[in-house]
Amino acid sequence: MSTIKNYLSLVKFSHTIFAMPFAMIGFVIGLNTFEVFHPNGDLGMFQNKYSNILPPTISDWLKVFVLVLTCMITARSAAMAFNRYLDRNFDAKNPRTAIREIPRGIISANSALMFTIVSSILFVIACFFINTICFFLSPVALFVILFYSYTKRFTPLCHLVLGLGLSLAPIGAYLAVTGRFDLLPILFSFAVIFWVSGFDIIYALQDIEFDKSQNLYSIPAAIGKTKALQVSELLHLLSAASVIVAGIYGEFHWLYWLGIAVFVGMLIYQHSIVKPNDLSRVNVAFMTANGIASVVFGVLVIADLIIS
């Protein structure tokens, strides 16, 4: 049990709370294209709105759901373990991160790398059993999420690459169900890109001096705390705009707009408690505010799709 606990801590499993609700939104939007929740007359509960092809049974959808969860867990585990492996020397020098598993010797660097490889293989296998397009795109997804770990070495735009990685969740889950791209899940992916990039900038405020001393790149290190927070605010404004546009385009109902109120409220809250001269509540902004934003928004959007 202690070994499992150590690996869960290595990959910060609790942070799955950020992308998972958006993956579930993409999954349920995909189901809605087949009128799973709102049968269309005598056409049957799985009638496809876009064709007359009847999709598989409920048990088949459950299998896809399990495979989507597997993809989410393995992809994120691979990304986090690789990040910890690649950054192990920097983590050992930084007082804030020196307590992590690899610097402390709880998990060896080679074990973390092997964990990354196994997780990546399991991700590709899960994609293979979903459908052809997910399988063919799985190397692209892996490249994006693993490449992020290198970006802090050469560009302050690393936060956007992290956002891009997590933004694959809603569109990936939608592809798993439908096998095609569509505008609505892409709008949610844009919301994730801007949201994650914005709060990662806030999180990076803690390491400005360390990043400069190690020649590492970040927006706070490049332009300072005040301007970095302004960039974060702009990104969060774009995220809010994305979910609003998605709500209008998708013709959602009152539960969705209640979810937007909570989501936007949490964005405003985190910017109200983090100031250039006071970073004492960065962790509250990072974990608590964004965790609430993601979970509550996800639950209300899915409820809107199912009930309305």
What gap in Å lies between CA 277 and CA 67, rounded to an integer? 45
Phi, psi torsion values for 157, nearest 5 degrees: -85, 15
Give the pLDDT confidence score for residue 25 in this predicted structure: 97
Domain ranges (residues) in the chain: 2-307
Helix (H, G, I), strand (E, B) or coil at 235: helix
Rg over alpha carbons for the chain, rounded to the nearest Å, is: 20
Q: Which amino acid is at 242?
A: S
Residue bearing tokens 């209300």: 300
CATH class of 2-307: mainly alpha
In terms of Cα–Cα distance, which of 172, 220, 216, 226 is closest to 200? 220
Which tokens go with 203? Answer: 């999180």
Give the pLDDT confidence score for residue 205 in this predicted structure: 96
If residue 100 lies in a helix (H) or strand (E), which one and from where to where? Answer: none
Alpha helices in 87-182 (DSSP H): 88-93, 101-104, 109-130, 132-151, 158-178
Which tokens go with 234? Answer: 């702009």
Helix (H, G, I), strand (E, B) or coil at 275: strand
Crossing angle of helices 158-178/132-151, nearest 10°?
A: 170
What gap in Å lies between CA 83 and CA 112, rounded to an integer? 9
CA atoms within 13 A on the CB side of 194: 19
Q: What is the pLDDT along the chain (308 residues), one digit of tens a residue?
A: 678 888 877 877 777 788 899 999 999 999 888 766 665 543 333 344 444 444 556 787 889 999 999 999 999 999 999 999 999 999 999 999 999 999 999 999 999 999 999 999 999 999 999 999 999 999 999 999 999 999 999 999 999 999 999 999 999 999 999 999 999 999 999 999 999 999 999 999 999 999 999 999 999 999 999 999 999 999 999 999 999 999 999 999 999 999 999 999 999 999 999 999 988 899 888 888 899 999 999 999 999 999 87
